[in-house]
Each structure stands twice: as C-alpha cells, then as structure tokens.
Copies of this chain bind each other. A is one copy, B any other.
Amino acid sequence: MAADLLVPETRVLAVASHVVYGYVGNKMASVAMQLLGCDVAALNTVHFSNHTGYRQFKGTRATAEEITALYEGLTQSHLTDFDVMLSGYAPSAAAVEAVGVIGMDLQRNAEKNPGSFFWVLDPVMGDQGRLYVNDDVVPAYKKMIHHADLILPNQFEAEVLSGVRITSLSTLAEAITAIHAIYKVPHVIITSVQISNLSPSSSATAAPPANTLTVIGSTTRSDGSPRLFRVDVPALDCYFSGTGDMFAALTVARLREAVFAADPALRTTKSWVSPDDVPATALPLAQSTVKVLASMHCILEKTMEARNAELQAAVISNGEVLSEEERKKEEHLRESKAAEVRVVRHVQFLREPTVEFPAQEWNKEDLPAQFR
C-alpha cells in the first residue's frame, strides 16, 4: 500500500470491547483504522472469546477502576497525545462514566488548541426498540454526550437520546435537531434507518425501495439548526455483527481526511464545524460518510459471498444425533461464524471502494416546520 493511500497521520484512543475471535468492538475498529494508516491505542473494556451474537461466550469485563487505571498508566508516561478518541461499548454505567472522564480529560488538555482533539462517541445502549445495557447506562450517556464532537446513535438510541419517536422522515429530522439542541453536540450521524418502515411525510419524497438502508447525518450551523444530508445504500440480506463499530472506525479516519482536505482553517476550528455557507452535502461529515459506506458496502458484499459459500459447503457430521434444539444452536453458531466480516483480505475496498452512493440534500418538506 503506497503511503499516499493512507489518511493523514492520526493517533486514536479507541475504547471498546475486545473479542479473541472475530470482528466487533475494538477488534474491528482497530484493524479498520490501522489498515487506513491510523496509529491506534486500544483500551479494551471487556475481554470476551467472541461476540455476544453467538448467544454464548466466555470472558471478563473490565471494571471502571481498571479502565481508569489503564488511562492513568498512559498519563503518567505522557502517552496521551491523541488526535481522536473513539469510545464505544462499556459494560456498566460506572465504566461508561470512567470512559467519559477520559474523554473530558483529553478534551481539557487540548482546550488551548481548538480542533486538535476530536471525540467520536458511539452511545451503545440498544437496538431494535430494546436496551441491551442496564437502565442506569442511559443517564450516564445523557450526562456525557454534550462533551462529544460527533455521536453515532442507531435509530433506537437516537430515540432514547432525543425523546422523539421516529416514525417518519420529519420526526427523524426532529430527533437530530433535538440532539443538537439538548446536548450541543455539533455532529450527529444516525446509522442505518429503514426509511421504508417510516410513514411518508411528504409526497415530494419518493421513498427508497424497501431493501435500502439510509444513513442520516448533520453538522449544526451557528444558529443551532441542522445541516441534514442522507446517503441511501442497498441493504444486504444478511445480519452482520460489528458493522456499527466498522462505521465508527472508518468515520474517524475518513472524517479526519476530509477535514484535512478542506479549508485549512477548519482544522483549527473547535469541533471541526464548517462555516455556515458550506451546504450539507459538501460537509466533511457527508464526504466521509459517502466513502465509509462505499467501503462497507463492498466489504459486506464480499463477506456475504464468502458466507454463502461457507454455509453451502457440506457439514461434516461427527455422527452425533442432535436434538432439534441442539441442531438449531449448531446452525446459529455456524451462521454467526460465517457472517464474521472479512475485513483483512479486502483492504483494497477500504482504500479505494469501487462504487459510491452520493450524499443527498433533504427535501424541505421533510424538515421540521421551523427549518422549511
């Protein structure tokens, strides 16, 4: 890989889960960022054998004290000159708070140099209408999000954070507007919304086909209004774990690249917020999202091909007779393994994806009334 294919030098502190086998959490995020040239420090919040989607795993969780101690280890040896922090899953409210303290400390150190530190926060709380963390994790996130520069909730997490039930394009825009307003967080991306599941809010918007995933992003203007863009990507008929982590990691690398490619003043602007006259689709956040989704689409497509081939291959039975329940369990394990994202063998799609899905402006009709 030629050096000119790498993103600008970026020192990242990545705080998330570690799994021995497979690609989720920091295991996914580290390799994705490293393959694009980032220098990654990985602070692992859990040490599991595999991701929980297998429905069984072994391992241990780091306590808040252990997370804090690791960070103290870094500070006492002056190893905290990070450009970006990416924080993901932490296994308890106390652990989430410990991660928050780290983010705030790094932010304080960078205070005199606006733009020299950027915090990407993935508020991992749940999905598909259901929390998969303890209830007390929600207020822990709500307290720390106003320190983050970019948050990456999924649709459910955006509802939890905004208090807005997302049922249409305009309620989606309302949720993002509320997140900007409540938490003063300048950049938001809602990952993977199925627009076809939402009620049409305007006849002007041709809803994308059912098998489309939409990613919605926004960078605030100085008056607090959202600058909304959307990117539609064909959905693949397969469930993959770790795609949220992959999205977040690639966004770290690509957003920094886009900011370095923009007007040099942006790099020294607090939170990398573009001037008001930059339209939504020209935002570094939009440009980054386009590249990230292009890479992910290619890699997930390759993963699905490999997965299908693996699942079609004959299973060598060891002669055991399995109950229906055991058979289903074995099938689920096999499917989970086959769907592990193939990131390492497809570096070229990380670097130079072969398709791109454009960032689109929103129709005015789909914006909340005050912004039409």
Contact = CB atoms under 8 A, between A and B. Distances in A.
Given A1-B1, A69-B59, A344-B38, A49 B21 contact: no
Given A57-B73, A72-B58, A348-B1, A79 B44 contact: no
Q: Is the interface of A mostly helix, strand, loop or mixed?
A: mixed
Given A21-B79, A73-B48, A345 B35 contact: no
A6 B345 contact: yes
A317 B237 CA distance: 57
Given A34-B344, A47-B44, A56 B39 contact: no
B20 A73 contact: yes
Which are the 4 A-B pairs with shortest beta-carbon distances? Answer: A49-B73, A58-B73, A1-B1, A21-B79
A78 B334 contact: yes
B20 A49 contact: no
Interface residues on A, range: 35 or more
Interface of A: 1-3, 6, 9, 13, 18, 20-22, 27, 30-31, 34-35, 37-44, 47-50, 54, 56-60, 62, 66, 69-74, 76-79, 333-334, 336-337, 344-348, 351
Contacts of A13: 20
A18 B45 CA distance: 13
B59 A20 contact: no
